[in-house]
Structure 1
Amino acid sequence: MINWKNLDELASYGELQKVEKVNLAEVMSGESGAQRVKSCSIPMAEGLSYNYAAKAVDSRVLDVLVKLADEAQLTEKYKALYNGEVINTGEKRLVLHHLTRGQLGDAVAADGVDKRAFYVEQQKRIADFANKVHAGEITNEKGEKFTTAVQIGIGGSDLGPRAMYIALENWAKKTGNFKMEAKFISNVDPDDAAAVLASTDVAHAIFILVSKSGTTLETLTNQSFVMDALKKQGLDPAKHMIAVTSETSPLAKSDDYLDAFYMDDYIGGRYSSTSAVGGAVLSLAFGPEVFADFLEGAAAEDKLATEKDPRKNAAMLDALIGVYERNVLGLPATAVLPYSQALSRFPAHLQQLDMESNGKSVNRFGEPVSYVTGPIIFGEPGTNGQHSFYQLLHQGKTIIPLQFVGFRSSQIGTDVEIQGSTSQQKLCANVAAQIVAFACGKKDDNLNKNFEGGRPSSIIIGDQLCPKTLGALLAHFENKVMFQGFLWNVNSFDQEGVQLGKVLAKRVLAHDTEGALSVYSDLLNI
């Protein structure tokens, strides 16, 4: 039987607070540091590995973290999730994003259908549609091929798919898998849509409207903006648009779209990159086979996350260490630092994934919790970040844990040697140097040049960023966030925090305001 308990009700959490703290600078220096790097690594799917040597943990801390995972029933709760229990207590829904890429356990039925079969059916429909677009069987009204796909969506309908597209764009061009350019319109600011349309041959563009409910204000506003632009060029919007929505939304059977592909209420927006939300744009951009490889990588990592022993389960250990840093060491944030330009938007996606999921102050039953929950997430790709906010990371008064991602080879496969090393070697040298610099620091009598060290980090390392490794990387972080939600006993799958502002914005637009809201409305000339 599963027991949903608050973190501070678990005996092992009390024990964790009493374990002697690790002097990271000390254990990462000299030969002991070398041995840690060699021994503190967990294999992940698709050749990735998670190395936690530069985290402030030792065998004593790990032993208690293992106890905490067992007492919190992390494996059992994950199993309950993928077997179709109602894990989203806030909205009384199942949580099924894992089913979009594989069947981990029992068949799950909802809405009178097998949900795995439903997701596979949508993937097949999208694949067929994309293949016909690429073959010129589905064209614009003049019989000409589409050359660009433009996704219209916001939040999870934009951040994840956009990050995945950017991650694979250069790889696809290098490997001959690039079919169409993809662009994204998300912000309700008209400058966003106008800028995208100004750089797009709209006569040869297919627009993907993504809204589960079919009522998302920003998305429908941008749809109207695009439809107006199409009409001004004498084009029929219905010949240029497809919808990704739920079967019950007003968009599902509309004549305003060439076709509609379906998702459901069991997949939250920030978990939807492996559903039709990501599938349509990625299949159009790179081909269905590439999207299938992306799903395969995610499925492989999901399977590894079922391992009960955290020392063999990268996502679970990453989650446990993160809770230790947040709740025992009192560290408020985590910086996500991919040393890969292709992952330039990955931190933004993880920011939503983590902060929207675990930024909660009540537990699964609506009761206040007495401990902090999700960390602040931010980041930029290296080496750009080094010339931006690393100053605070190295010498600021706030210690911020770091999550690096690095690859041994670039996506382009070609490089030049400059001053005795290639660009990729320089990139990898920087990430290796940063890990050790953060952990060990450097003593100097001139305090302006003194580095305290003791800044903890982990790194996920792979050979090259490709569809399968990207899928595995995404699933790792999705599962990490899930495990942390279980530990904090919060509902990681609703997002009530985004609703209040939406409600008030509608009041402003209806001129139903008073007090400060009325004055701000006047200041902004609404």
Structure 2
Amino acid sequence: MTQWKNLDTLASFGELAKVQKVNLVEAMSGQNGADRVKKYSVPMAEGLTYNYAAKQVDDQVIDALEKLAAEAELSDKFAELYNGAVINTGENRLVLHHLTRGQLGDTVTADGVDKRAFYVEQQQRIADFANKVHSGEITNAAGEKFTTVVQIGIGGSDLGPRAMYLALENWAKKNNTFKMEAKFISNVDPDDAAAVLASVDVAHSIFVLVSKSGTTLETLTNESFVKDALAKAGLDASRHMIAVTSETSPLAKSDDYLAAFFMDDYIGGRYSSTSAVGGAVLSLAFGPEVFAAFLDGAAAEDKLSANANVRENPAMLDALIGVYERNILGYPATAVLPYSQALSRFPAHLQQADMESNGKSVNRFGEPVDYVTGPVLFGEPGTNGQHSFYQLLHQGTDIVPLQFIGFKNSQIGTDVVIQDSTSQQKLCANVAAQIVAFACGKADDNRNKNFEGGRPSSIIIGDQLNPQALGALLAHFENKIMFQGFLWNVNSFDQEGVQLGKVLAKRVLAHETDGALKEFSDLLNI
């Protein structure tokens, strides 16, 4: 069995702190920089590459990180996870999102069920349902085809599936796999549901209600909003709604839904895009084959993450470098910067995945830790971000490590030549320029125009953003978060920090308030 120890008790962590720091400006300037770009690169699945040349590391740092990975037993802990150990100790649960896309190790049985078989069964049920919707076998009450799918969920039931849908929408249209437009309702703010409903033809819309427990307040409120709109249109809501829920929830066998597809307690919301939570909406939108390809890409990256060799394991290496930046170099945040408009909501998804997982100040045993854990994570697609917050990234007082994502080719393949280069070439030129500008800076006697440089970044490069590449990209970051949680000795798979506000909100709605809570409630006319 592995040993779960705090980061600062590991001998290799103390050794890492003593390794000489890298002068990134010198390391990335001239021929040194050219050599590093060729050297510090690791293949990922589906033709992606993780390049960390512009990170503040060298061979000595990587050697020390290898020792840290070995002492922290990162590979062994991952193996325990995918073989069915109770890794989510806070809720006494297995952690099985990897099983939704492949079998990495032993057969995992829980609740008397082969869990891989269970997830495959749900995927097949969703595929059959989606095919019947697309063929017109399942229709609205008037016998007409559904043209739009609307997901109702919040948190992981919204952010991940929404980000994945937007990532593949243009690709699917270009490759003739686009079946139905997808919309998403998440915020309990009535303006959200009203705006979505005003933008669709409800008579030809199928709604996917996602709630594991079947009791999520925001989701059920929005479901009522939708049912009211359907009733006002003279439509039978039960002919327009499906549920994604647990087998034990009140939604599972309700006549209010055309069908119910199941998830379980072993899949955290922020890790649920490869489960029925993402499977239903993505299969309806693009077809089951596209969702299956997405799963294949994730499974392929998971296999790489199981490699004990740090230098051949991009997610583990990325995680180790991130912990080095956070706990040794003292950097407080990370920016995810995809130079792909299709990934416009990918940083928002990773924000939840990372900050909800590793935003913890106690270890797995409930004991306070004496070191910093998860960073603040934010991001926007390039080149928009360049005209927004890059000023702080280049010349601000805090150094923020950067994770770029770029693709050699666009999804649509249509482009124009303007001033001797295409739009895609201009996009790629910008990301290449930013990496070097952040690392090397530019000296200027005018201090306002001086760039100190020394600002580290990595980049994941691919040929084109397609379903397989998207799956690999998602799995890379999921596994990076997992490995960092192992290193910090926190439970990355519960989220108690989201509960207190919910409890107090219920008190407000029940008018059981006093003190500041009552005064703020009065200010808001509740």
- Shift in Å, 1:414: 1.6
Structure 1 counterpart of 2:103, which letter? Answer: Q
- Shift in Å, 1:309: 1.3
Question: Distance in 1 between the 2:273 and 2:111 partners?
Answer: 22
1:211 is aligned to 211
Question: Distance in 1 between the 2:307 and 2:254 partners?
Answer: 45
- Shift in Å, 1:157: 0.1
Write the mapping of 1:88-487 to structure 2, written as runs, cut at 5 A. 88-487=88-487
Structure 2, unmatched stretches of 5+, are none
- Deviant stretches of 4+, over 2 Å: none
Give a deviation string over 1:225-258, Cα, whole Å, max 9, x none. Answer: 0000000000010000000000000000000000
- Shift in Å, 1:308: 0.6
Structure 2 counterpart of 1:488, which letter? Answer: W
RMSD of Structure 2 on Structure 1 (CA) = 0.3
- Shift in Å, 1:452: 0.2
Question: Distance in 1 between the 2:432 and 2:188 partners?
Answer: 41
Secondary structure of residue in 1 paired with 2:429 = helix
1:15 is aligned to 15
The number of residue pairs the alignment matches comes to 526
- Shift in Å, 1:189: 0.0
Is 1:77 aligned to residue 77 of structure 2? yes
- Shift in Å, 1:412: 0.4
Structure 2 counterpart of 1:496, which letter? Answer: E
Structure 2 counterpart of 1:233, which letter? Answer: A
Question: Distance in 1 between the 2:99 and 2:326 partners?
Answer: 30
Question: Distance in 2 between the 1:454 and 1:188 partners?
Answer: 43
* TM-score scaled by length of structure 2: 1.00
Secondary structure of residue in 2 paired with 1:413 = coil
Structure 2 counterpart of 1:152, which letter? Answer: I
- Shift in Å, 1:393: 0.2
Secondary structure of residue in 2 paired with 1:50 = strand
Question: Distance in 2 between the 1:291 and 1:383 partners?
Answer: 29
Question: Distance in 2 between the 1:167 and 1:13 partners?
Answer: 38
Secondary structure of residue in 2 paired with 1:124 = helix
Structure 2 counterpart of 1:429, which letter? Answer: A
- Shift in Å, 1:469: 0.1
Question: Distance in 2 between the 1:309 and 1:71 partners?
Answer: 13
Write the mapping of 1:35-74 to structure 2, written as runs, cut at 5 A. 35-74=35-74
Secondary structure of residue in 2 paired with 1:42 = strand
Structure 2 counterpart of 1:28, which letter? Answer: M
Question: Distance in 1 between the 2:421 and 2:25 partners?
Answer: 29
Secondary structure of residue in 1 paired with 2:150 = strand
Give a deviation string over 1:405-427, Cα, whole Å, max 9, x none. Answer: 00000000121000000000000
Question: Distance in 1 between the 2:58 and 2:166 partners?
Answer: 37
Structure 1, unmatched stretches of 5+, are none
Give a deviation string over 1:93-140, Cα, whole Å, max 9, x none. Answer: 000000000000000000110000000000000000000000000000
Question: Distance in 2 between the 1:274 and 1:230 partners?
Answer: 30
* TM-score scaled by length of structure 1: 1.00
Question: Distance in 1 between the 2:415 and 2:232 partners?
Answer: 46
